[in-house]
Structure 1
Amino acid sequence: MHEVVAVRATIPGMTTTVDPRTVFETSGADLDAARAVFEQAYEASGFLPERTERVFGYRFRTVGDQTMSFRSTRFDARMVGEVDSGDQVSVSWVTDGGGVLDVGRDELGLSPGRPVVFPTGRPYRFELADVRQSVVQLDRTFLERIAAEAYGTEPGTLVFDHTAAPGVEAVRAWNHQVQEASRIVLGNAPVSVLALADTARRTALALLTTFPHRITARQVPLPTGATGRVRSAVEYMHAAAHTPITTTDVAEHVGLSVRGLQQAFQRQIGVAPNALLRGIRLDRVRDELRAGTPTDTTVASVAVRWGFAHLGRFSAAYARRFLEYPRDTLHG
């Protein structure tokens, strides 16, 4: 048996008002179908399911909108694979079964009663077996905006330490907020856009209070359309542009092949990764030339420091980008 339901409800008696929640639910007893469902749900591939002593069956349900959703999973088998947190920050807890997150790296065991935040900003491997799992997912950009408001700072990249266990009181407060939010998100009564948005905001604040994290300031705006691994790659380029990294290093950092990185960049932002990295370094050269003077700075020394060994090609690329030669910037 395999059932799928995907609905967007209209509030009774108010045909012009649409409930913002989307519901998706599927269940069955086919192992291959289950693999396809979970690969699609987590935008991944290569999951490997394997039967255990339990009679196999699965159920997956998600309710929410693009900002926040609640997911529940029953999976009576073993599953291993690799996923990327992408543009979501997720908190999970299990009531039965268990597993390991971030296999082979900063491993974290899943055990009943302990909420954990998924690794962020990079791909990670997992192993799960015979689980009853719940997940709260929040849009990463939304969460970063709430963090900026709460801390009085500019929006930056949130980096969570998934291995750090939250305190007892923090977990108690988190559980309370999840219960309150679930009444809204999972309830049968119609929900307005404003009510769902307020619930998402309260849940975001509870997540920030509960799970240890830091904020990495962004040096420059991200290219329009950059999400998931492309976003992580761009941020890594900015953070490490002063080191001799290549697109091979960038691809490895975000868990892609070089070809996969190139295809993702072209698809999302229409720029090759090596061109973006070169542009970042040209921008850094320009900043140094503007800050320097002809008496203490030379174009050649700055260019070489930022990885431009062939000064003729560097000068031409600089002129194409800034419509002036580097010597003009230095003397300007």
Structure 2
Amino acid sequence: MGDVYPRSGPAPSEVPDILHFSSVDIDQARSALNRFYYPVAVGIPEGADGFGLGMEVIQLGPLTVGQLSYASPMILTVAEIDAYHVSMPTTGRMQTRHAGHVVLADPSTAAVFGPGNPVYTVHDGNSAELAIKIERDALEQELAGMLGRPVEGPIDLPPAMDVSTGPSHSWSRLVRLLRDELEHPESLIYQPLIAEQLRSSVLSGLLMSLPHRYHEELTGPATAGPPRAIRRVADAIHDEPERPFTVADLAAIAGMSVRSLQEGFRRHLGCAPMAYLQQERLMRAHETLRRSDPLRVTVAAVAHRWGFAHLGRFASAYRSRFGVPPSETLRSAG
């Protein structure tokens, strides 16, 4: 078995940290930004009137996603950023300066920052952005897990990102989904199994969306992993299907890259590793429904327990596997 590269993220008992904040006081705004992002200097451009900052933020371990709303023009300065960061305007524009690059970001172009340099941003009044912070170790460990070997950081991400098309547009929709869940107290983001999967999807999706020196290795041809390593992963899935496995977690168990794991599963088991995990979870959900009291247990609770974030898709996959809807299995148990 190869080296296992640890992955940062919420512990099973950890819940997301949520902030809803609005203030016209610069010191309060600075304190909120420091808490979730970085030590930052907050200023107002010459000639601008008033001040107002709104924040809606969710923090999933090393991933922070927030919508920042600027009621008035604002200048933010960070002496040295210590993470990977994407600023994605949703309304209005912002100008950024980082590592010798000047980027004019708008709803079609995001600005991307890496660790080790200062960041200077100027925001329009009546503008808003999605601010995505990923701790350095977390993104580099995610990449190591995907490759199946150590990496030397920092990862050389480009200074700008076109989010209007292609994989980057898909990634931006995933981030928006996370932000939208802030408005729902009963959201599945409060389920650790789902939160971990979403966090990993944002990190791996960013690595797949942008060019960097490891990108070709991530997307190029891969050799299939050997049967013994694939069986080790299958056994881990059978033993603990309730664990919040990501494909990179499974690749670490096998001691190989994500692509080698995927090729190995297709060759030896006829499906992708996450599809194999889903089938195991469907079987466990089926067994749980058959043994449960329909007066005490709901289909949604069973689906969430076994890692299904979307109830409609769970019901469809369940019916395809077992020929009946999950509600019928639960009713027959009573």
Please state how far the C-alpha of 1:60 moved relative to its aligned partner.
Answer: 1.3
Query: 1:102-121 maps to which residues of 2 (within 5 A)?
Result: 102=97, 105-121=100-116
Question: Which amino acid letter does the alignment assign opposite residue 63 of structure 2?
Answer: M
Q: Distance in 2 between matches of 1:39 and 1:51?
A: 24
Deviations 1:221-255 (A, max 9, x none): xxxxxxxxxxxxxxxxxxxxxxxxxxxxxxxxxxx
Query: 1:1-332 maps to which residues of 2 (within 5 A)?
Result: 20-39=15-34, 41-50=36-45, 56-83=51-78, 86-102=81-97, 105-130=100-125, 131-157=127-153, 158-163=155-160, 165=162, 168-182=165-179, 187-189=184-186, 190=188, 191-214=190-213
Please state how far the C-alpha of 1:92 moved relative to its aligned partner.
Answer: 2.0
Structure showing greater radius of gyration is 1
Please state how far the C-alpha of 1:26 moved relative to its aligned partner.
Answer: 1.6
Contact kept? 1:102, 1:119, Cα under 8 Å: no
Identity of aligned residues (%): 17
Q: Distance in 2 between matches of 1:49 and 1:90?
A: 22
Contact kept? 2:94, 2:106, Cα under 8 Å: yes
Q: Distance in 2 between matches of 1:112 and 1:166?
A: 8
Q: Distance in 1 between matches of 2:18 and 2:58?
A: 5
Please state how far the C-alpha of 1:36 moved relative to its aligned partner.
Answer: 4.5
Q: Please list every run of 5 or more consecutive structure 1 residues that lacks an aligned counterpart in the other structure.
A: 1-16, 216-332
Contact kept? 2:83, 2:114, Cα under 8 Å: no
Please state how far the C-alpha of 1:141 moved relative to its aligned partner.
Answer: 1.0
Number of aligned residue pairs: give it.
Answer: 200
Structure with more relative contact order (C-alpha pairs < 8 Å, separation 6 or more): 2
Structural RMSD (CA): 3.1
**SS where residue 132 of structure 1 aligns?**
strand
Question: Which amino acid letter does the alignment assign opposite residue 161 of structure 1?
Answer: P
Please state how far the C-alpha of 1:27 moved relative to its aligned partner.
Answer: 0.8
Contact kept? 2:171, 2:209, Cα under 8 Å: yes
Please state how far the C-alpha of 1:22 moved relative to its aligned partner.
Answer: 0.9
Please state how far the C-alpha of 1:116 moved relative to its aligned partner.
Answer: 3.0
Q: Distance in 1 between matches of 2:176 and 2:79?
A: 27
**SS where residue 213 of structure 1 aligns?**
coil
Contact kept? 1:147, 1:205, Cα under 8 Å: yes
1:238 counterpart residue number: none
Q: 1:91 to 1:110 in 2, by over 3 A?
A: same
Q: Distance in 1 between matches of 2:206 and 2:76?
A: 26
**SS where residue 108 of structure 2 aligns?**
coil
Taking structure 1 as the reference length, the TM-score comes to 0.52
